[in-house]
Structure 1
Amino acid sequence: MTARPTAGDLPVELTSFVGRRDDLTRARALLGTTHLLTLTGVGGVGKTRLALAVAAGVRRDFPDGVWVVELADLRQGGLLVQTLCRHFGLPSDSSDAFAPLAEHLRTKKLLLVLDNCEHLIDACSEVIARMLSVAPALRILATSRQILGVEGEQLFPVSPLTVESSGALGEAMLLFEERASAAQPGFRITDDNRAAVEAICLRLEGLPLAIELAAASIRIFGPVEIAARLEDNTLVMAGGRTRAARHRTLESVVDWGYRLCSPRERQVWEQLSVFAGGFTAETADGVCLPSATGEGVLHELIGLLDKSMIVRVEDNHAQQGRYRLLEPMRQYALEKLESSTEAATVRLRHRDYFRRLAKRSDADYCSPNDVEWFRRTRSEHANIREALAFSLTTPGEAGAAVEMVHALLPYWTQSGTLLEGFQWSRRAVDEVAEPTWSTPSVTVRIW
């Protein structure tokens, strides 16, 4: 009998997994014969949920655990190895950060789930190939909108859910019923509303995320009205005629959700797109819709949560509730923000908020607040990276990056990310236009 794994961080799913029995069976079988299985498909088709369900089904086969690394919030491919090291609790501050990762994986029999690889294709392909070359018992389950191109990669295209099933309710309709009943207890598909629910699922082409968003609106509209609104061609074409049909379908239902929001909720949603790695109510207050009255955005966050536009991140160790935008929602909101006149201002507010957080180390490091300072800074690591990247790619802002890197030195040291800190410092020095400083002396001064 295979030993029960004692390690790993496979999350507990808060909602049930609907359908895809054949997909689960086939994917589990493939993981037994291939080292790299890549689930591919359009955004919102359910790649992540399928990957987690597959991982849960095979976890007993991996005594060293199932480990899930979410890559959507990592925007710098050069930090992928350090991110993996950090996830496994390994040091990553040596000149060769891959060495401790290779040593850790070499004798392990574990499953590594890499979610949302598409924006880091080159980095993922290289690092995955290196990991597989040194760890014969390693299995990798990746999700991506495009293939990774690694030798030996097994592709698994993820299709939308079925709508009809020999007269019975198809997977898409079952998903709609379950999510709608969560929003409105007692909701069931009946003879009276079945045709409308079927029309909804057909119009949304069986895309799970789009169906879940439509189902969440059952508190406001009945199935017949939802179906009628989805027939509005101005919604269906919201994503533009040049985009693939399923991309347009998902964008149309997200756009519909956007129209259901109040003007302030829309603004907050757009401005939340600048966060990486999620946000708390406090950080959202500090970045979104600043007001002299101190009104804050809690009301808007509650409204967006109720409409399923943001989701809560479950973390039993966090002292503050943490939230995030699902990646398709973030991309939609980011497009809206980037087309507005507010984009630069919002990104500057985001940078300045985390600049202030970085400077807290001056007072909090090695003080009674040390533990809380480290916990808070570590939870915002992705946002700190985003703030540094903004400063280094925006003319005239490199000085802020220099200041942040220097202030974060205690954090880089204590968190085992000294190499990453040094890399940021080198980039910052290269961007500082100060002809009287030589690069080595500036690096020493920051570092």
Structure 2
Amino acid sequence: MFLRFGICLILFIFLNQHVTASYKSYDGYKILEVPFKHKIAKRYVQNIDKHFGFMPDFLGENWKKEEAHFFIEKDQVAKVGDALKFSNISFNLRDVDSKMFTFSRKRRDLANSPISITDINTRYLSYDEQIQFLNNLASQFPNLVKLQNLGNSYEGRPITAVRLGDDGTNKPIVWIDAGIHAREWISYNAALYFIWTILNDPNYRQLLQNVQVNVVPNTNPDGYEYSRTTERMWRKTRSRFTSSKCAGTDGNRNYPFFWGNEGVSHSTCSEIYCGTRAASEPEVLALTNAIMREERRIKAYVSLHSYGQEILYPWGHTKNSHPSDVQDLIRVGKMMATAIQNLHGTQYNVMNSGDGLYPAAGASDDWAKSRGIKYSFTMELSPSDDYTGFILPEDRIFQVNRETFQALTTLVRVVSQEFANRTTTSTTRISAKFQRTRGFGSGK
């Protein structure tokens, strides 16, 4: 017994040392903060790639402080500082705490105990642990849970949808997916927490009598695992290109609605590379095919991202353009934000996704709305600052899980009230003239 424990301990230490040794170091990287309250500064930020000669990794905008935040590689720090000074643009280059990029990578793969809700609320799971958790729930609730393989990722990992309350009827559907951007770890946990809680809490389970909820907790399993084992700030998929040294596509620039237009890059090394064509990524193709099979019943779509504390609604591919029912989107978005604020006082901003700093074409929420899905949103989860950003500490997971749950169940109730017990009819799709595919970007 002692010998076996000793061997496991040595193996555990070896694995941790191996991962630590090969894990990308972010020593010397900086967070660039640029206030854009003044028009000149805002125009500069919106054309920052032209001033720098490259597009830096855009983390997002702090809507409270009106600041744009970027992640700057150590080799580009001096160049960025010189360019900003030359143009008399106020800025701050903040050091990155490289220790933050290692503490949430704990390897617990040797544990034999089943994954529990405590794990979901206190740590970030591997892809295999996520699947184990879903399989356990399917066994516990065979009448309420159906697991469906939508397709495989580029590296062959199944993309699993969890169908909650699927009883074969024509109930309206709420679609929730998470993790298209690999580094946004809290989104995966929030989706898993939603699944567990709506099944285990009788106060919410009754919603499944009127509404079916389809949840895809991990839409980018390859990128997620790569962010866990090799490069914490990895954002894209892991597809390969024979003519490039760089891998991956931004899945949230790859959807077939205004693909390749604004807020994208056609450089394979860019964080916002939109791919070789619309839906070129097997992950995106699997999701779009699955949604189109049931789009007449899907009445709400939410994509979980981080970070920024925002509830975003279409259109995001351009500025100053909104769907005809935009007031309905704003109304329901504010209901979701209020539900979050009522829990812990956390404030979410409800805003159009294209009217911020940058439009972002080829995003999933725009595409979902273009398919006639009534309520389509992107949620940028907590935090709102770059001091933690994508590296949300594990002791804050539970709060964000609960807040996200409140917002999502609010949306499910809206769908239940507005669409349950109605005869399913054909949805009106956006005019074909909007389906053009032309070829700088938001955190979406």
Higher share in strand: 2
Higher relative contact order (CA 8 A, sep 6+): 2
TM over 0.5: no
Q: Which has the larger radius of gyration?
A: 1
| TM score, norm. by length of structure 1 | 0.26
Higher share in helix: 1
